[in-house]
Structure 1
Amino acid sequence: MTASETHDYIVIGAGTAGCLLADRLTEDGTRNVCVIEAGPRDSHPFIHMPAGYIKTLVNPRYTWQFTSEPSEGTANRPIPATQGRTLGGSSSINGMCYNRGQRTDYDSWAQRGNPGWSYDDLLPLFRRTERRLGTGGDDAYRGRSGGLPVSDLDWPHTLCDAFVEAAVENGIPRNTDYNGPDQAGAGFYQRVIEGGRRRSAARSFLGPARRRGNLRLISEAVVKRIQFDGRRATGVVLMRADGTEHTIRAEREVILCGGALNSPRLLQISGVGPSDLLNDLGAPVVHDLPGVGANLQDHWAIRATARVKGVRTINRMTRGLPLMMEAVKYALRRPSVLSLSPSLAYAFWKSDPALDQPDIQFTFAPASFAGGIVGLLDSYDGMTCGAWQQRPESKGHVRARSLDPRETPEIQPNYLSAETDRRVIVSAVRWTRKLMDSKAMAPYLVALESPGAEVTTDDEILDYARTLGSTVFHFISTCRMGPETDPMAVVGPDLKVHGIDGLRVVDASIMPSMPSANTMAATYVIAEKAADTIIGAT
């Protein structure tokens, strides 16, 4: 790599959005694209084994091991804020759930002054991304020929069936396709798993792009800063592990796809952000943009656990000889606990019957996790029901601490700071108890373990949520999309940074509000929309 290297487009970050964007921009062969990823290639076998997330999530070689600042909402605990740091980004380490959210999520984006971002606008793009496996779903809503395989659960378990029955027993209807016309209901999660293997953005989209001569991929290189000529982005300065620096120029655009924690940090250390912060960092003020790093949101989850009897759960299947048998099944590409996503069954429902749409997402697995920590299994057979408020109102921030792009930024989501969030999480905890202590679960339930029977009042439940709750790693909105008249908006509907030429942000940071969903599917559709916009302008 030489200092004079030049490309039409530079994509910073080979994550969920960056991989799809690279595929679309290189598809017709007329654009030269350079993709830069801070982490290594996705060669570790645990990345591609669905159950391997237990290991990769805590592996600093493949992740940014960020933590959030303590707050009252976390009982003054720092909370892991891990992000993917390899080809595929967080799609290489996440829970693999494919969940688009509700129509009103996207309609509200358009209503905030972002034309072209309504549900009807985005539905064709959701369908274009997806390759829905099997016969499930209505083709008016589902795609059959896209690059991202979406499969149904192929590993039946008595407790999963009982959970769905428990939901029906409590007034929640069955729903065979929550990505169809209506999200409300209970059933089994759809996953980006094919043939027992995780299908990350790297495997689904970057792989095809890498076979083209107009893509240049650079891994294990951190972008130190974006370069500007006045208020036009002209390229980037890279920093290798050995400390050497190189410059790459962009003839057309620099496209930032670092995610909701890294994208605002890089903008700030490059001189785009709140001027007070830039001055404190010693960064040149290229453009005073107050919204960069503001409006951070995330889902705050609680996980209730119980002991069970009469069935084998994942707790027992992942030890000793049973684990060896599961490994054999996995090697033979048969259904196995090693080919599962962390959440198997779902329910989407309301904290208040007066609501039109669900505001709580429930997850279920026939496994109990010690301390509510996913991946840390109890020694006894158990089950876990997790829940979170789908549309939180609490907001925080991300701020660079220095000009060093490798230093963890200050991450403060201010979990449970909004009164509505506290009310809904209390309702969610009560619902988890109701679902697990139901007639359908009675033949298997020994005892509810956490929260214990002593936790009964709203204040006690809220204290439990603060003390044992945790993130779902759904960080958004730190480069919020909105019109230039919005003083806290960072990008416009075309995802161009306000006040800057030649620079876009394309990742979860641009979401104006939290979708009622895991954020992966929405991030893919953001990249699809950006690709159409960029290609249409060239």
Structure 2
Amino acid sequence: MMRSLFCLCWLVICLLSSSCARLLLDPSEVSKEYDFVIVGAGTAGSVLANRLTENPKFNVLVIEAGISDVGVDDLIIPFFALLATPDRPWTWNYTTTLQEGFNNRSIVYPRGRVLGGSSSVNIMVYTRGSSEDYDRFAKVTKDSRWSWKEFQPYLKKPEHFVEPADHHNITGEFNPAVHNFNGPLLVSVAGNIAATDGRVIQTAHDVDEFTFNLDMNSGDILGIGNTQSTIGNSARCSSSVAYLRPVINRRNLDVLIQTQVTKVLHERTINGQPLFNTVEFAQSPTGRRFQVTANKEVILSAGVIGTPQILMLSGIGDSHDLSKLGIKPIINLPSIGKNLSDHPLFASQWVVINNTSTFEDAEQNVTVAAEQLAQYKANGTGPLVQGPSNQIGWLRLPQDSPILKTTPDPSSGPKSAHFELLFSNGYSSFVDAPPSTGRYFSVLNTVASPTSRGTVQLRSTDPFEFPIIDPKLLSTDFDISVMIEGAKSARRFIAASVWDDYVIAPFGIQGGLDTDEKLEQFIRNTTSSEFHPVGTASMSPVGAHWGAVDPDLKLKGVAGLRIVDASVFPFLPAAHPQAAVYGTAELAADIIKASH
């Protein structure tokens, strides 16, 4: 209750003050025309709002369905990232269809519905991915702008690498040569040293299967190293914090929140193409529909779920599917809503010596939790300044892996990962709550280069009804084989001698999973998602009869409409994709400014 009152008070103050005069709650205050209308103030949309309004001749409207992120502790305090989703007021509380690969379970599928979008609710890991991922983008699109060499400046441009909250010496924890120190987005290594940090790094040095990687943001990602996160000044640094708040007082920027775009409208043809330059929006299913016109471009940055939903509601998508719902097809683009790709995530836990310091210190003791929060509020230090994982690893299957003999390697190349390991000094799971007693260590693993592909489809013509989301996680032999190997790799990691005086035993029934068959069933029963969906409006070469957008991110066969978010990625990078989204938005901003 107090948090809601704080947010409401902040909004009232902003609306009455010159510094936040352009943040709007009432759609009737929006002008009839702008040069650019950006749909979504998420990771990409906030970047575009900042960069396009650098030109004082452009006026820009951003329409965001969600609320403000200001003053919400769960969106500010780094360790509270795990509390930011699901089923919160600032998330799209989606669920998936029953997943056959999960033994017919449905899972929650939250996305950020707030200023900053999913950058305000993710776990803040900042990894660019393999250089081969971007060279593959360039190859797929036949456009060198997406290659590692040409795209790397846009990956660096957002970043402002800073010292961590505890100001410890980070020599040997990252490579300064591959970073930027004057961008808007604060990035750092962990600002609170966990009891297991040294053991993780020592294992990487001691065991031949694992190698130490000083800095996986160099483009060479294989190995285990220190996690870099979008954390600075002891707080989460989202795209809202980095890009939107600093420019909210620009006279050529309006930001309308708590308002949902229902469709984009086509009223005439230009150069033989339908022009989509009018946006329809409303604040409730039964509320008044408003319209605004973009004189230059409408830019969809509504995310991997929202962008295809808006397009299909507008008559852009698979004509057969649209006709079945009674929507008149205007542009037949069957790729819209297809090619959904995501990282499935599985967690293994071990019981550790009971007197060690783990996440459970605060989770099982309200006094300790209050002390940690007080320390954070007082001086921005302590356990709450860190994300859930201080170390991360990217690895490949063994060369003689049986699945590679029957399935073409889906990774981007020999320097790219098949699976990821995340190390957490406590009980970590995206499926179940932590036990009420005991101390734990977790290793989470994902399929970094998945072959499973899913869909986003309309449930109805009601824009306020969630679409049908079917990521088809773990639906291929390759993906389940990689997940099993990743879990076994985590076991071998913990078997290193450095853990002998720390780890007691696998947690619960995990100690009895002594065959691949038993492990597979446990994985299918407990795996969730890392919530990294991409690909539902993917790039393809100019003139290609597949895909949704050209390499300049203009929607194929349409005038006036561009897409800038993770839906344009033709495949999922072996990375937490926020860094790639920031880079894409920076490139898109330059492309857009150059074309006008």
* TM value normalised by structure 2: 0.87
| Whole-Å separation in 2 of the counterparts to 1:347 and 1:141 | 18
1:258-277 equivalent positions in 2, closer than 5 A: 258-277=302-321
**What corresponds to 1:365 in structure 2?**
424
1:218-233 equivalent positions in 2, closer than 5 A: 218-230=256-268, 231-233=274-276
Q: Would the aligned equivalents of 1:304 and 1:451 in 2 still touch at CA under 8 Å?
A: no
SS in 1 for 2:339: strand
Deviation at 1:169, TM superposition (A): 2.6
| Whole-Å separation in 2 of the counterparts to 1:141 and 1:4 | 43
Q: Would the aligned equivalents of 2:260 and 2:283 in 1 still touch at CA under 8 Å?
A: yes
**What corresponds to 2:10 in structure 1?**
none
1:104-503 equivalent positions in 2, closer than 5 A: 104-115=132-143, 116-134=145-163, 137-138=174-175, 140-171=177-208, 172-230=210-268, 231-241=274-284, 243-309=287-353, 310-318=355-363, 319-353=365-399, 355-369=414-428, 373=431, 376=434, 378-449=436-507, 452-503=510-561
Q: Would the aligned equivalents of 1:260 and 1:509 in 2 still touch at CA under 8 Å?
A: yes
**What corresponds to 1:79 in structure 2?**
107
Deviation at 1:126, TM superposition (A): 1.2
Q: Would the aligned equivalents of 2:222 and 2:415 in 1 still touch at CA under 8 Å?
A: no
**What corresponds to 1:11 in structure 2?**
38
Deviations 1:81-104 (A, max 9, x none): 100000000111110111100000
Deviation at 1:200, TM superposition (A): 0.7
Deviates more, 1:493-502 or 1:325-334: 325-334
| Whole-Å separation in 2 of the counterparts to 1:32 and 1:91 | 25
SS in 2 for 1:446: strand
Deviation at 1:170, TM superposition (A): 2.4
> Which one-letter code corresponds to 2:216 in the other structure?
Y
Deviation at 1:281, TM superposition (A): 2.2
SS in 2 for 1:475: coil
Deviation at 1:337, TM superposition (A): 2.3
Quickly say closer, same or farther: Cα 1:390–1:240, change in 2 above 3 A: same
Quickly say closer, same or farther: Cα 1:189–1:504, change in 2 above 3 A: same
Q: Would the aligned equivalents of 2:350 and 2:504 in 1 still touch at CA under 8 Å?
A: yes
| Whole-Å separation in 1 of the counterparts to 2:430 and 2:180 | 35
> Which one-letter code corresponds to 1:170 in the other structure?
V
Deviates more, 1:133-142 or 1:164-173: 133-142
Deviations 1:497-520 (A, max 9, x none): 000100011000000111110011
| Whole-Å separation in 2 of the counterparts to 1:139 and 1:160 | 21
**What corresponds to 2:271 in structure 1?**
none
Quickly say closer, same or farther: Cα 1:8–1:377, change in 2 above 3 A: farther
Deviation at 1:4, TM superposition (A): 6.1
- Are 2:63 and 1:36 equivalent residues in the alignment? yes
Aligned with 1:56 (options 63, 81, 84):
84
| Whole-Å separation in 2 of the counterparts to 1:451 and 1:506 | 44
> Which one-letter code corresponds to 2:426 in the other structure?
A
SS in 2 for 1:466: helix
> Which one-letter code corresponds to 1:123 in the other structure?
Q
SS in 2 for 1:125: helix
Aligned with 2:567 (options 503, 509, 514):
509
Q: Would the aligned equivalents of 2:157 and 2:583 in 1 still touch at CA under 8 Å?
A: no
SS in 1 for 2:465: coil
Count of equivalent residues: 537
SS in 1 for 2:45: helix
Deviation at 1:302, TM superposition (A): 0.6
Quickly say closer, same or farther: Cα 1:114–1:212, change in 2 above 3 A: farther
**What corresponds to 2:74 in structure 1?**
46
Unaligned runs of at least 5 residues, structure 1: none
Deviates more, 1:395-404 or 1:172-181: 172-181
* TM value normalised by structure 1: 0.96
Deviations 1:422-470 (A, max 9, x none): 2111100101111123211111111111661221222222212111001
Aligned with 2:49 (options 12, 19, 22):
22
Q: Would the aligned equivalents of 2:132 and 2:415 in 1 still touch at CA under 8 Å?
A: no
Deviations 1:472-530 (A, max 9, x none): 00000000100244433000000000001000110000001111100110111110111
Give the RMSD, CA atoms, in angstroms.
Answer: 1.8
Percent of residue pairs identical:
29
